[in-house]
Every structure is written in C-alpha cells, then in structure tokens.
Amino acid sequence: MRRNYVRAVGTAALAALAMVAAAGCQDAGSGTAGGGDKCGGKIAIFGAFTGANSGLVLPSLNGAKLAVKQHNEKNPDCQVKLEEFDTTGDPAQATPVANRVAQDQSFLAVIGGHFSGETKATMQTYEAAGMVMVSPSATAPELTQQDNKAFHRVVGNDLTQGAAAATYIKNTLKGQKVFVIDDATTYGQGIAGETKKGLGPLVAASDKVQTGQSNFDATISKIKSAQADTVVYAGYTNEAAPLLKQLRAAGVQAKFLGFDGIYSPEFASGAGAAAEGAIITCPCLPASEAGGTFSADYEKEFGEAPGSYGAEGYDGAVVLLEGIKAGKNTRQGLLEWVDSYDKQGVSKYIKFDETGDVDKSKVVIWAYEVKGGQITAQQEIKLS
Amino acid sequence: MNFDELFGHLGQHTVDGLAKGAIYALVALGYTLVYGVLKLINFAHSEVFMVGTFAVMGTWALLGATDGPSFGMVVLLVVAGLAAGALASGATAVAVERIAYRRLRRMNAPPLIFLITAIGLSLVLAEAFGLWQGRIVKGMPDVVRHDIWLTIGNTEISNRQIITVVAALGMMFALDRFINGTRYGRGVRAVAQNPDTAALMGVNQDRVIMLIFLLGGLLAGAAALLWSIRYGITKFDIGFLVGLKAFTAAVLGGIGNLRGALVGGLLLGVVEVYSATLTSSSWEDVAAFVVLVVVLLFRPTGLLGESLGRARA
Amino acid sequence: MTDILRKVNDSRQRVTGGIGERWRALPRWQRWLGFAAFVAFLYYLPYLGIPGLVWLRTDYISNGTNWASVLFICAVYVLVAIGLNVVVGLAGLLDLGYVGFFAVGAYSVALFGSANSPVVHMIQAQFGMPKGWAVAWAVCIPLALVLTMISGVILGWPTLRLRGDYLAIVTLGFGEIIRIVARNSEWAGAAQGINGIPGPQGAPSPDNHIFGLLDAKPWYWLALTVVLVMVFAVRRLENSRVGRAWLAIREDEDAAAVMGVHGFKFKLWAFAIGAALGGISGLLFASRQGFVEPLGFNAQLSILFVAMVVVGGSGNMAGVALGAFLLAYLPERFRDFNNVRVLVFGLALVLVMLLRPQGLIPSRRRARELKDRAEEAPVNVA
C-alpha cells in the first residue's frame, strides 16, 4: 500500500515538474536584438583557423583582427567585437556556425567564408537572415552566379585567376604540354576548368585526385607518359605538397604551378626542397605592395609579414567597420552600406557590382615563387 | 575510359602497380597473421604503420639526414630507419594487444566488441599523433635519390621500386621460413588451427599471440621505412587508407594465408594503378572497394584459399 | 586500479542498479503517465530555462551552437540509432556502412527536391518543366523510403550469406562506394554537393516562416515526432513474429533454421527496415541543412553510428537513444575542447568496451549473453 502511494506521488511529481518547467519557459538562446542608438556591435568571422589548410586563412584572420583593433583604439565610443568561429574549411562545420550566427541578432555582419565550399553551403542561411557576407578569399565563380544578395568578396574570382594563370603559362613559362590536375572540390574543379579553357590545345592531359590522398603514383605515371613540361595543380596544400614531393622524387623536372589554395608556409615545408621554383598565383597582393602602413602595422602586431590574403582580410573588416562607425548598426543598414561602398582599400579599390564581385578592372593577380623555402613575390600578371 | 594510355604503357603501369602493392603486402601480413590466429580484424594495425613512419621521420631528423646523402650515410639511414620503424611499430602492436585485446579475450567477448575496441584504439592513436605532431603534411628528406636502374622497352624501373619489391619479397620469404620452419612458427600454426588442443600440447597461447602481434608490427615498421623512402611524407591520418587497402589485399589473397597477402597486395596495387589510368585517380579507392566486395561475394576464402591453419566457414 | 573501478561500479550499482526492475514493476498506468511526462519534457526542451539546468544548453558557452539545432541533430541521430539497432541489436548483423543509407536518404531529397540538382535539371529539360520546378518535399519522403529500401535489399542480398566480420567489412566497403560514387559523379553534384534542398515549406528562402533556415525549433519538433512514431513502430515489430525471428537468428542461426526460421529472409527484412529508418533520418537532416556534400557521409560517421548503438546498449531502444543523444550532444556542449574531441571519443569507445561491453543501458538479454560468454571462456586463457 505504501509502495503504491510512493509511486503515485513520484509520477505525479514528475508530471508536475514538467508542467512547471513548461510554465516557466524561457528561451535564452536568441540573444539581444541589435539596433538602437548605440554605436558598435559584433562581427563574426569564420574559416579554417585550425587544421591542415589553416596556413591560408590565418593571415586573413589576423588582418581582420588588426583592423578591428585599430578601429577600437580610434573609436572608444564605438566598440566592435570580432568573434571567431573555426570551421577547418569544412562545409559541414560551417553550417551550424551559420545557423548560430544568423539566429543571434547581436551579430551585424560576417567576414567569410574563406573557402568556396563552406561559403556555398552557408550563403543562403546568411541571406535569409539579412546579413552581409564579405569574403576575403572565396574565389569560386559560381558563388556570384546564384543571385545571392548577401555575398560579397574583396578578391578577384577564379575566372580571372584561371585566365591569368593560363596567360602566365603561355607567356612566361612558355609551356607546350601542360598537365592539369584538380582535387574534385568546388574550388579546385572550378579553377582547373578556367585554366584549361585559357590554355586550349596546350593541355596535354588531365587528372583528378581526391582530398586526403597521400600517394600519387598513378597521376605521376600519367604525367610521365604525357611527357608534360608543366604541371598545374588546382587544390589545397594538403595534397599539393606530397604530390610535388613525389613528382620531383620520381625525376619529373616539369615546372609546377599552383593557385592560391597552396599559398601557405606548410606547402614549402611539406614539399621540402621539391617546392623550389614552384609558382603560385594569387588574387592577393604581396605585403610590399599593400597600401598605407598596413604591412608595417601587421608586422608590428604579429611579428611577421602578412601572408596570403592578409590585406584582403583587413580590407573586408574595414568595409564593415566604417559602416558601423557611420552609424549603421542594423543588418539591413550594413548590407546597404557594403552594396554602395566606393573607396580605396589597402589591397585594391573596393567597389562591388550587383553580383557581389569587385570591379573587374581593379582585380590584381600576382605570381609568387618559392625561393629558399619562402614564398616570394615575382611579378604581377597582367590580364589583357 | 582511356585504353590507349593503359595499353600504350602497360609495362610501366604494371611496374608502378607492383611497387605500390608491395607496401600494401607488408602491411597486409600484419592483418592476416592476427586474423588467421584470432579471427580478429585488427583495425589498429593501420595506426601501427603510421607510428612507424613517424619513428622513421624522427630518426632521420635526429641523424641529420638531408637530400641525397653519401652512400655510407644512406646505408646508415636505412638501417637506423628500419630499426626505429620496426621497434616503434612492434612496440605499439604489442601494447595494443596487452592493454586491450587480452582483456577482451579473457572476457570471451563477441566479435563486435573487439571490432569497436579496435576502432577506438585506432582513433586514439591517430588523434594523439595529430595533436602531438600537428595535422599538416610532414615532409621527409629524399634519402634514396631517384635513379633509373633498369629500362625494358619504354618501361623505366627506378631504384626505389626495385628496393621496395625486393625488400617486401625478402621479408615475406623470411616470415614464411619462420612460420613453417621454426618451433615458434609451429606454435603459431597450432594455435591458429585449434587453440584448445594447442594448449593441451603445451603451447603457451598468450605468448604465441604476443608473438604474432610483434611480427605484424615489425613488418608494418619495415613497410613504414619503405613508404618513407618512396613517398617521403607522412601525416597523422595516413593510416586509414593504407590500412584499408592492405586489409583488402589480405582478404583478396585469402585472409590467414601469408602468401595470399603477398599476392593480394601486389594484385591490388596493379588494379589500382590500372583503374586510375583508365579513369582518373579519384576512382582509385572505389576500385579497391569494389574488388573487396566482389571477392567477398564470390570467393570469400580469397584467391589462394586456405588459411594459416583453419579453413574459414 | 581495477579494484578502485570495481568499488566505484558497486556504489553506482547501488544507486542506479535495479531502476529498470523497479520501473517495470510499476503498474501500467503509472508507466504511461511517466512516459507522457517525459515526452512533454522533450517537446519543452528547446525552451530549457529551469534554473540549475540551463548550463546543459549548448549555447551556454560563448560560441556555442544554437540549442534547438543541436537538439534537432540529436533527434536525427536517435532515429539513426534506432534504425541501426534493428540491424545490429535485434538481428545481430554487423553493419559498418550504415552511413550509406543515411546518404541515400539525404541525396534522394537533394537530387529530386532541389531546383539546383543536376537530376532535376535533366527532368526539366526532358519534360519541359519551368526553371524553378522540383519534386515536392512531401513526395520526396516516399521516394526516399523506396530508394533506401531498394538499396538495403541490393546491399543485403549478396552479402547476408556472409558471417560476422566479413559482413562488417563488406558493408564498410559499400558505404565508401556510395560516398565516392556521389563524389565523382556529375549527376550527383560531384564534390561540391547540392544546395537549395527544400523543407516542408519548399525551397529555402527568407519567406519560410515555420520551417525556415533560422529557427530550428519546428524542425526539432518534427524530428521528435518522427522519432516517437518510429519508436512505437519498432517496439511493435520487436514483439511480433518478425522480432522473435530476429532474436532466434541472433542467438543461433543454425538452431533457428532447424526450427523453421528462414534466416536469410528475416535478415533481409532487418536490413530493409534499418535502411528505411536511416533514409528518413537522412532526409530530415538534408532538409534542415539545405545542403549535402559527399564528404559529410564518410566512414567516420558510420563508426559513430555503430558506436552510438554499442555504447548505448545494443538491443535496447532506450539505451541506443541515450547513446545517440550523448554522442551528438557532448561534442557540442564541450566545443571548447574541439581539438581533442575525436581523441576523447576513441578513449570513450575503448573504455566502455573494456569495462562495460553491454552498453550504458543494456538490453537484459544482451547483458546475459555477454555474462554467459564470459563464464564460458576457456580455462587456459587466464
């Protein structure tokens, strides 16, 4: 009898608890709404800050941090907070980040994505939230072909980069038989396609590898039988470094050209001596060419020269910071501000067209060379 | 399907495939030994291989290896690398058995539990190295400079390829002699055939099991050295694909069958290179998996059939 | 060392041991009431504001993921675990390629429901449909079910003759084949994947008010409802002739055959039903995310699924649900330790297998099986 009584009370208590909890309902997840009269706000930045390909993205993050720091020092009554979200470049990790940021009304804008894959996965979420995206390095052409109002990039896209690489191969490297490899990602496939278009009949053969691959016997075998004098790799450091190393180890002397996906210190260290003489194209400016005191400031702050996309990350942040300073503290306001932005940045003149690309005539593509284990600027590739 | 490419350079692609497969064969031996005796798929073996590559890299760095050293230095580096790799891999394999598998055997755990534990260990080892060494590609110096030693028609065979295949064959032969010629080898075969009877005959099961793990580890360490010579890179997650391919090779040849591991490894390497030539390298892995599935469906005992001691049901 | 662990386990046993017994001893109406209260609590969960429990929320930490989104993923994974439990726990088949069915479900809604998919483009060209047309979301559901069940049968037919470990490896291989084919095929979107996957209200757009891109609560409630319906359905299945046949096959296939239970047919049914559940969860997942890519359906996810079932308690639905919830929730709640996440997962797997192989909430039958096996261990393995 007493046992039943205890049980009855127990279950009733459970049910009561559930009802009390429901009554005291409280959704603590959506954060405070932005807006109001106070100047300042939060900007999110996402990208591969850790992981195998982080060397490409960290300079951009640092550039953005520098911009925010400088802004906060100059504007004590308009403080901006930059919050970092690491995605390791993986679209699957970028998606929950996008949901989080989009739902939290205290985030006014987002700098990102840094890789094309994660950008493609999250563009629609940010657009639905009415946020503006300013990307320092997502270069796949299809990103601006999807009628997305949110996406803007302060960098040239792969249409220009691919065409520039083709021009460089034809004029400077004087390649006759070009072997083009891509890694079957959004980025790699896109830019390889553009380069092949530009090269036309000079392409001797091509191959696809996969991300995560570590031995490239079959590809190298094909390169040898095609007797290529130039090898073009469209992809990231994680695969490019072992590929180049094994290529040289197999005795292939062909010139090697890669794109901005391998512009990172890990490429030179991973491939070792084999990386010597490799060419890397990038729609990013060398540190020495960047406008203003950017390079000096960056070096003072982080102890090293800005790497790939450092200046672009800085510019992306500055565009948003100036908007916040001008009193735009809503998402809609910032979006309109960015759409109508028309000013010189440290990497290039920044003005966006209706699709989100920077003015094509302002895009710069540079060729870099690996010398002595360091990536040094070689020349600007003129696009005509 | 690019048939011209394949048939135009058939010799070259075959040689490339054989050299690639030789490394798979050495790693496959570890899987096949353990499976033949314990009926256990040792998922952690792929990480045993990975540890070996890092040991080789570390030893070479310690000895100050550079690209293309003198002959004496090459010999030193190869021997030291082999010792380091074999020791590290062997130690890892034995540790895995001692810490995890022995306890599970005491509990007479069902195969699924063994499998999950093995996977867990594999993850722990890979992640530990990822955290310790970083998740980027680690380059190693070119210890054995590339050189063409043999040219048959339009097929060029390099020194590295010859070293790899010869070394693999040599180790296979040595292992075969060991299993079939020595007292310990008899013990291994006895336990593989029937553990209880072997125990009745006076064979110490635990010691035999430790021995096969050690042997598998040593061979994986040798494979790690050969890998380092041929490819010159390593990464914390290198084990997964290599392990999976090696396991496929073991199954292909007849799991539990040592010669089968060799045949399976070489064959798999050739199949991979052929399929990559016909289509593109991104289909390479599918070829391996399709081979695995087809073999298991139509000939589950593998090409060479009989196992170490016991025929698979 | 083992002594300390044993003492800890004993004190834990005193507290939690026997809960199952006491629960089952309650009269039926009380159990129903308790269950109803629990279900109500689950629906309330996104609003979790009970002081003292708020720290459980994943957005309690500064850059934590949205709580309702995490709950949605938990619900999807619970569904996966229940499906895999049918295959692994009830029928006793080692399936390491379950992610393949998850992927087929996700890709079904992606390939047919998204206006950006190559397959839809082909259909548009063939039948002259307008540019933004795609198969309606509601139609994608039976489509996904059919496709996954067919793939389950295709996978199962040749492979179910194999035993134990071989089956595990073949299923692993199949899972990888599906992923790589999706990655390499243009018609499946290749490595870039497919975006623009619709939800119940249609293609992702700012106009979707309930099932939109931002608020995850309605998605969670939808997933939760599906989970509850499926739990009920599988429960009925477990206690039916089919369930008993699975039990017989799991314990001893030859004896079952002697008793007239056709092993192959029932194993195939297990595969198909498990595949269907996997497909539904894949569909829900893809609809919410709005985007699929092959890299997300890799072998590691398959292993995570199996781990959920085995660590939770293979054969026991409450157990696998708990396993799924923990394995989806813990990495998000402790996002600060993202770097060591996989390491901790591996360690957890090994420790649970060594110390408590029957799982967290074991099926009584399974716990008994393991205990019997341990007692049967040959004497000389000591």
Distance, CA of B163 to CA of C204 (rounded, Å): 58
Q: pLDDT tens for residues A356-366?
A: 888 877 788 88
Q: Which residues of B fall within a CB distance of 8 Å from A242?
A: 137, 231-233
Q: Which chains have at least 3 CB atom pairs separated by less than 8 Å from chain B?
A: A, C
Quick one: CA torsion of A295, A299, A305, A311, rounded to 10 degrees? -40
Number of domains forming the structure of chain B: 1
Instruction: Kindly identify which residue of chain B lies nearest to residue C171, measuring between CA atoms.
Output: B293
Kindly indicate the confidence band of residue C63, based on its pLDDT and cuts at 50, 70 and 90. Answer: low
Task: Give the residue from C64, C80, C98 showing the smallest Cα distance to C331.
Answer: C64
Residue B309 counted as domain residue: no
- Residue C3, pLDDT score: 75
- pLDDT tens digit string along C213-247? 777 888 899 999 999 999 999 999 888 988 888 88
Answer positive or negative: Cα dihedral of C67, C71, C72, C73. Answer: positive
In sequence order, what are the beta bridge partners of A41? A80
Q: Is C354's CB within 8 Å of B100's CB?
A: yes
User: 3-class DSSP state for residue B83?
Assistant: helix
The pLDDT of residue A34 is 43
In a domain, B35, yes or no: yes
B308 neighbors B253 (Cβ within 8 angstroms): no
Is A218 in contact with B273 (Cβ distance < 8 A)?
yes
Query: Does the pLDDT value for residue C43 go beyond 60?
Result: yes
Q: Which residue of B has its CA nearest to C158?
A: B297
Q: Is residue B307 part of a domain?
A: no
Report which of residues C43 and A23 the model is more confident about: C43
pTM to 2 decimal places: 0.85
Tell me which of C1, C5, C84, C165 to substitute to probe the interface with B (most B C-beta atoms closer than 10 Å): C165
Q: How far apart are CA B36 and CA B306, in angstroms?
A: 10
Q: Looking at chain C, which residue has its C-alpha nearest residue B119?
A: C346
Provide, as residue numbers in chain B, all residues whose Cβ is less than 8 Å from the Cβ of A52.
135-137, 235
pLDDT at A111: 92
Rounded to the nearest 5°, which phi and psi values hold at A352? Answer: -100, 145
Q: Look at A92 and C293 and tell me if their CB atoms are within 8 Å.
A: yes
Which are the contacts of A345, defined by CB distance < 8 A and separation ≥ 6?
A154, A291, A311, A314, A315, A318, A319
Q: Do residue A221 and residue B141 have CB atoms under 8 angstroms apart? A: no
pLDDT at residue number C145: 94
Q: Residues C333-371: pLDDT tens digits?
A: 777 777 788 898 899 889 988 888 888 888 888 788 788
Chain A residues near residue B5 by CB distance under 8 angstroms: 205, 222, 225
* Domain assignment present for B277: yes
**Residue C356: CB partners within 8 Å, gap ≥ 6?**
none
B157 in reach of chain A (CB within 8 A): no
The correct answer on CATH 3.40.50.2300 for the domain covering A10-157+290-352 is yes
Determine the distance in angstroms separating the CA of C349 from the nearest CA of chain A, rounded to an integer: 23
Q: Is residue B178 situated within a structural domain?
A: yes
pLDDT in tens, C253-296: 888 889 888 888 888 998 899 999 999 999 999 998 888 888 88
| Å between B64 CA and nearest CA of chain C | 32
| Alpha-carbon distances of A85 from A43, C60, C116, C323, rounded to whole Å | 11, 16, 28, 27
Contact B247, B31 (CB under 8 A): yes
Per-residue pLDDT at B313: 31
Spell out which residues of chain B touch residue C378, defining contact as CB-CB under 8 Å: 108, 195-196, 199
Residue of chain B minimizing CA distance to A205: B5
Cβ <8 Å between C347 and B290: no
Give the nearest partner residue to C173 out of B196, B292, B313, using CB atoms: B292
Task: Select from A44, A125, A129, A131 the least CA-distant residue to A91.
Answer: A125
- CATH code, B222: 1.10.3470
Q: Which residues 187-206 on chain B approach chain C with CB closer than 8 angstroms?
A: 195-196, 199, 205-206
With CB atoms and an 8 Å threshold, state whether B9 touches A221: yes
Distance CA C197, CA C203 (A): 6
The phi, psi pair for A156, rounded to 5°, reads: -70, 155
User: In Å, what is the CA distance from A218 to each residue of A275, B6, B77, B198, B276?
Assistant: 20, 11, 28, 46, 6
Q: What is the pLDDT of residue A18?
A: 52
Task: Report domain extents, chain A.
Answer: 10-157+290-352, 159-282+365-380
Minimum distance, in Å, between the CA of residue A325 and any CA atom of chain B? 40
Tokens of residue C232, six digits: 């009920």
Q: What is the pLDDT of residue A195?
A: 92
Sequence-separated (6 or more) residues with CB below 8 Å from residue B81: B56, B59, B60, B143, B225, B228
d(CA A38, CA A213): 51
Structure tokens at A287: 């540190």
- What pLDDT does A240 receive? 92
Lowest mean pLDDT among A168-182, B258-272, C179-193, C313-327: C179-193
Specify whether domain A159-282+365-380 bears CATH 3.40.640.10.
no
Whole-number pLDDT of residue A29: 41
Enumerate the residues of chain A whose CB falls inside 8 A of the CB of residue C32. Answer: none
Give the nearest chain B residue to A206 (CA atoms).
Answer: B280
Tens-of-pLDDT digits for all 384 residues of chain A?
Answer: 556 656 656 656 655 555 555 444 444 444 444 444 578 888 999 998 887 788 888 999 999 999 999 999 998 888 889 988 888 888 878 888 888 888 888 899 999 889 888 898 888 888 888 899 999 988 888 888 888 888 999 988 888 888 889 999 998 888 889 999 998 887 888 899 999 999 989 988 888 888 888 888 888 888 888 889 999 999 988 899 999 998 988 888 999 999 988 988 888 888 888 889 899 998 888 877 777 888 888 888 888 888 888 888 999 999 999 998 888 888 888 899 898 888 888 888 888 888 888 887 778 888 999 988 888 888 888 875
Taking the Cβ of residue C206 and every Cβ of chain A, the question of whether any pair is shorter than 8 Å is answered with yes
Mean pLDDT (chain C, rounded): 84
Beta strands in chain C (DSSP E): 194-195, 291-292
Cβ A91–C296 below 8 Å, yes or no?
A: yes
Average of per-residue pLDDT across C142-146: 94
Q: How many inter-chain contacts (A to B, CB under 8 Å) are there?
A: 112
The set of chains that have 3 or more CB pairs under 8 A with C is A, B
Contact B128, B237 (CB under 8 A): no
Query: Is A332's Cβ below 8 Å from some Cβ in C?
Result: no
**Strand duo B155-158 + B148-152: pairing:** antiparallel
**Residue ranges in chain B whose pLDDT is less than 70:** 306-313
- The b-or-e profile of C115-139 (16+ CB within 10 A means b, else e) is bbbbbbeebbeeeeeeeeebbebee
C41 and chain A in contact, CB less than 8 A: yes
A322 touches chain C (CB under 8 A): no
Q: Counting every residue, how long is chain A? A: 384
**Cross-chain CB nearest to C94 (options B112, B121, B293):** B112
Inter-chain CB proximity B296 and C349 less than 8 Å:
no
Most B-contacting residue of A49, A86, A222, A244 (CB-CB within 10 A), to test interface: A222
Residues in C touching B198 (Cβ below 8 Å): none
Q: Does the pLDDT at position C5 exceed 80?
A: no
Nearest CA in chain C to A89: C295
More confident residue, C271 or C15: C271
Residue B173: give the domain boundaries: 3-298
Report yes or no: A11 at the C interface, CB cutoff 8 Å: yes
